[in-house]
Structure 1
Amino acid sequence: MFNKLLSKIFPSTASPAKHALSTLPIAPISASPENGDASSDPLLPVKRAGKEIASKLFLAMSTEKGIHLESLLSALGALAGYACQISVREAYVVQLKRPEKEVFIVVHSKQNDTTYYFGDLLNRPLAESRYSIWSLASGATQKLGLQQLIDLHEIFKHVTDTLGGTNFGVPRIDSAHQAKETPLNYVIFLWPRLFPLAQSFCKNPSDWPIAFGVAIQEILYASKDLIAPDLALRIVMESAVPMSKIYLPAQAVQVSN
């Protein structure tokens, strides 16, 4: 599946999805830049990056019958969550040379011999800042009519409770709406292709998660009549929160030539 997907980024994914959403006609997203320049809108490069990411991934995951929307939302949520940690890591560990344990709360699970990352600096781009993944995604769903937001704190608790276990990073979504791959696999296979795209538009590491957040908004608005906003928001955040906690060595991410 991923070899074909990657060949389209840069073009139908494997077999067509079985779910009802996959049979809907494709409605391409415009990736054309907005009018104006960065001097009048400092977020313009970030917006351009988000539109480009959304457009490329949308087209890459589309088939002649349509797109599996749940998979697209999960993939973007996973990438957005991972972008939060990478942005903090770049800004503080790489550029400011601060020790990793001063930047993150580092938790090592003996259950699966894996290290996870937490902390206030990580929570800001993920769920607390004005342009956090949560702010951008939840704001979009509210504009689409969502009256009652999902319980984000409960998602954080579930992620913490499942560290090191087989349920970690597995979105708790009804089987009829599950993505085709796990959030971890989306990060492993898609990050090496889409992260450089975000970097090409956004030089400031703090803008990288925002770019993926904008991409999520693009898909949410484009699919406003195709999926319930609460379900869409849950898919995004159930993928984003756990993927913000992982860190993959270079050999773990795969790039297809």
Structure 2
Amino acid sequence: MFGKFSRKNDGPQDGAASDPLPGAQLAGRIILERMLGSMKDARGVHVESLATALGALAGHACQVAALQGLSSGAAEYQGLSLMTVGGANGDEYCVGDAINRPLAESQYSVWGLVAGAANQHGGQVPDLNELFHHSASTLGGADFGLPRFAPGTSAGATPRSYLAMWDSLQASVRQAAPRPEQWPVAYGLAIQNLFAMAAGQFDLGVLTRVVMDSAIATSKLHLPLPAAAPAGFAATQGG
């Protein structure tokens, strides 16, 4: 049974992947340090909650990066698509291969960084196709965006609720990694650092599922932009 995670005296580790973009690795360390501090209570940090929050923020970072990449005409987004669809529950969702690029298909995608770290530390990672199928099959329903935890465990809030942390982190993230395409990488590296700290204490395969269930959901969930959105981002949002 998972429980509380007490911080060790040593800081987060850099993880297996090298820094693909200037500042992303520093931003990843900042993200984890800030979240460890803000989510700590007298018993430590609840890892399922932290994994859910990091996954949710990583997914939102993928949406921001994709919309900015399309808006700016970045070469890596040429020919990729993104559209907004409505759900039966009244929510709107962004779907398309533009979001899948930073989420699961680019060299330093969130999935690549998270699954790579889990594998490195002996975790048995879930099937990526099943993760996407689960998200698509629950889109617009009551179960959409609810991570699948180990029996008897849960998080303190939903991925959607943890998106409220985005604005409070952005000033520090932007200072270290100013470009939106760096942000999914930064959150992926923060999760790598968490896995390095949690290795041997938690099932990293289960945590990978929690992270990705959260990230896939929030990468699709269409929400109002943060106040400090990238230039040109708002014009693309409605398309």
Give the shorter-chain TM-score range.
Answer: 0.7 to 0.9
Q: For the Cα contact (< 8 Å) 2:2–2:153, is it kept in 1?
A: no
1:10-44 alpha-carbon deviations (Å, 9 max, x no partner):
xxxxxxxxx7521x5322563799xxxxxxx7634
Which residue number in structure 2 is paired with residue 26 of structure 1? 7
Which residue number in structure 2 is paired with residue 140 of structure 1? 117
Higher relative contact order (CA 8 A, sep 6+): 2
Instruction: Letter of the 1:185 partner, please give it.
Output: S
Aligned ranges 1:194-233 → 2 under 5 Å: 194-233=169-208
Instruction: Letter of the 2:171 partner, please give it.
Output: P
**Separation in 1 of the partners of 2:226 and 2:35?**
23
Aligned ranges 1:237-248 → 2 under 5 Å: 237-248=212-223
**Separation in 1 of the partners of 2:50 and 2:23?**
23
Aligned ranges 1:32-181 → 2 under 5 Å: 43-93=21-71, 95-96=72-73, 103-109=81-87, 111-146=88-123, 148-181=124-157
**Separation in 1 of the partners of 2:111 and 2:130?**
14
Instruction: Letter of the 1:177 partner, please give it.
Output: T
1:231-254 alpha-carbon deviations (Å, 9 max, x no partner):
1111111111111001211589xx
Q: For the Cα contact (< 8 Å) 2:13–2:197, is it kept in 1?
A: no
1:139-194 alpha-carbon deviations (Å, 9 max, x no partner):
00111012x4301111111111111111110112235221110000001x101111
Instruction: Letter of the 2:127 partner, please give it.
Output: D
5+ residue gaps in structure 2? 75-79, 228-239
Q: For the Cα contact (< 8 Å) 1:29–1:55, is it kept in 2?
A: no
Cα RMSD, aligned residues only: 2.5
Q: Percent identity?
A: 36
1:82-112 alpha-carbon deviations (Å, 9 max, x no partner):
100011112323x449xxxx84132222x12
1:91-142 alpha-carbon deviations (Å, 9 max, x no partner):
323x449xxxx84132222x12221111111111000111000000000011
- Runs of 4 or more, structure 1, over 3 Å off, are 41-44
5+ residue gaps in structure 1? 1-18, 34-40, 253-257
How far residue 73 of structure 1 moved from its aligned partner, in angstroms, is 0.6
**Separation in 2 of the partners of 1:222 and 1:79?**
19
- Shift in CA distance, 88/250, structure 1 to aligned 2, threshold 3 Å: closer
The TM-score with structure 2 as length reference comes to: 0.83
- Larger radius of gyration, structure 1 or 2? 1
**Separation in 1 of the partners of 2:69 and 2:206?**
33
- Shift in CA distance, 238/20, structure 1 to aligned 2, threshold 3 Å: closer
- Shift in CA distance, 203/20, structure 1 to aligned 2, threshold 3 Å: closer
**Separation in 2 of the partners of 1:159 and 1:21?**
26
Q: Tell me if 1:184 matches 2:184.
A: no
**Separation in 2 of the partners of 1:143 and 1:31?**
16
**Separation in 2 of the partners of 1:29 and 1:126?**
29
Q: For the Cα contact (< 8 Å) 1:28–1:59, is it kept in 2?
A: no
Equivalent residues, number: 219
Which residue number in structure 1 is paired with residue 232 of structure 2? none
